[in-house]
Structure formats: C-alpha cells, structure tokens
Structure 1
Amino acid sequence: MGALMSVAPEPGWPEPEWHRPPVGGYTADDLDRLPNLPPHTELIDGSLILVSPQTAFHMRAMRLLENRLLEAAPPELDVAREMTVTLGPRDRPEPDVLVVKGEAEPRQTTFQPEDVILAIEVVSAESEARDRNVKPRKYAEAGIRHFWRVEEDKGLPVVYVFELEPATKTYVVSGIYHEQLKVPVPFPIKIDLTAINRRQP
C-alpha cells in the first residue's frame, strides 16, 4: 500500500524537508530522522512511498491475519503489524503483517531481514505492482524465507503462499488458499478466511 512521493504542501506552509530528495535518493536511516514524514512512509529504491487511504478490506485482512498468527505462533516468535524491514541502505519497506524472531524493543522502529520469518502484503489497487513484483523480489533477495500475498475476491481474502528457493533467492508458490488457509510452515497455521468480517479477538 502506498503512493510515490508527489504531495504538494498546503499554500502558505513551509515545504517539508523530505519534498526535496537528495542526489541519489534517500537512505533507510532517513526514515528515522526526516521531520513530519506521514505515518507508514516506506523507502523503495531510495524513493519515499506514501500511504494511501486504507480500505475496509485491507484493515480487516490485517486484523484477521494478525490475530490468528498471534494465536498460532510459538513463544519464541512475535507478530508485528506495519513495521518496516531494513533490507539495505536504499530499501525499507513496511509489510502489512510480520512474524519475527523474539520481541521488538520498545523504541525499535525497524527489523533486520534475518529476524523476519514471514512477511505479508495485502494488495491494494494502487500498490499492485509493488506488492506483486517489487517487494516480493526484494524480500526474497534479502533471504526472508516465507512470503504471503493477500488479494481480495468478492470481499474475501485469497492468500498466495510462497517459500524461498535458496539456490536462486526467488520465491516459489506453494499454495493458493480460498476460504481456509492451512499450512505447516513456518509453523502450523490454520485460518478461516471467511471470518474476515466477524468481530473477534
């Protein structure tokens, strides 16, 4: 989810520093130091990506996956939502949901790829190319072993499950799940995908 940086300042307001990208683009560390960045700004190939308004499907899909993963994850793993992963000096994307090793420190703002067990992207209309191509390629190259892409079909999630092929550092699809997601890795997970619209903890 997100849009390339193209926001103009309000008339009469000073232009934010991040409206003037440096030669060569921004770096991963810039996300922590640039003032007044919009929430959930990502960095892809040195360019800032701004978040578009979230749809109800996107919100509900994230909530369902986060809650079910929290229930299923072993105690040595944690589930995070909308936190960045520093893949390299010019790439700091923000997956919608993550399963990570250990527990984040209170002031931590990003994860390293070696700490990420599973990255999940819920596809939005304006982010299809990034969620389907750019970000999965970068996650795979960084060595993140498991990736899920979530698409919407008639209001329900369809989950495309990928595993890393280590010799080529590319993802291979291991399943496409409608109505129910059941996988043995990275740990046993069973999710009723039709429950997306139910209010449940």
Structure 2
Amino acid sequence: MKILCSIFSLFIILVTVNGDCGVVTKREWDGLSPLQVEYLARPVDLVIIQHTVTRTCSTDEKCAEIVRNIQTNHMDNLNYADIGSSFVIGGNGKVYEGAGWLHVGAHTYGYNKRSIGITFIGNYNNDTPTEASLEALKALLRCGVEQGHLTSNYRLVGHRQLIATESPGRKLYNEIRRWPQFARDVTSIKNP
C-alpha cells in the first residue's frame, strides 16, 4: 500500500509540475534525459525571453524536430547537461519542456540560477510571432504563478537587456515591451 501511495504521489507531482500548464514533455517530443541537474530555488522572479534564430515552425512534427536539434546541439557541441532553455515555444502555439520549472537552465550566462529562460523558435528580427505562440507564453506564465513557480510580481525581460545580443529579435521584443510585467529598467536585475 505504501508503494502504491508513493507512486500516486509522484504522479500527482509530475502532473502538477508540467501537466496543468499544457507543456509538451520531453518524453512527448522525444527528448533526452539531462546528464545532471541542479535544482532552481523557487519561486523565481525573473523571466528572460529569447529566440532561436532558426527557421520557424507551425506543425507539431517540425517544432518537435527543431527542439530535438537544439537539445542535440546544446548537449553534443556545447557540452551542456541538457537543452539550455527552461521552455521552448513553437509557432504552433505549443510549449516544449526544456530544463522546466525545477532545474537550472543554461540560457543566459550569469542569470541561470535565478531565472526561467523561455525561447521562441524562429528569428524575430525577421519573423512576426504568431498569436498562438504569444498566447502560449501568457498561459505558461499565468500557470507558473498559479503553481508557485513564479512570484506574482515576476519581471519579464528580453535577453538583450542583460547581455550583448539581438535576442529575442526586434519584433518579439517590441511585443513583450507592452506587457505589464515587462521591466524597462533592469538596473536592479543586471549583474555588475
């Protein structure tokens, strides 16, 4: 009976961590298990938005393929323990599990241990984010707050505000700058 209760408890934890947020799990996109994990102190108050600078995707099959390719590159070529992003969002409006809510990612040097990194598939200097992908981000953030992964007063920033990069691209950056959680002044966030 104790074993059955333990298994049921583990199932509930896993469903709570990803299931309620509608996240496509690594198992579902055929991702590899991380080589090692470091746990992220939660709740987190910083969300960093990035882009992949790859082609966009609009189908489940193509988006999952791109996420697998990113993970392969991160693990095989960059020697990361896993895909770097906490989550990846496709043009199909689906959110793909990366390091997730629980683990430290490898998305923004100097900020990984205190943030969630969410990466959009595409090059948003050229591409316009789909309404479905923007709604997926909003739903993920809402769910993160509801489940206690994010503080209710979390700050949303573009990758470019913290390090020298064009990410998340002008068009995506222009979109998130209008959101109420967007932090225009990153002085208190930025590493010295």
TM-score of the superposed pair, with normalisation by structure 2: 0.31
Whose RCO is larger (CA < 8 A, sep 6+)?
2
Q: Counting strand residues as a fraction of each chain, which structure ranks higher?
A: 1
Asked which structure has the greater CA Rg, the reply is 1
TM-score of the superposed pair, with normalisation by structure 1: 0.30
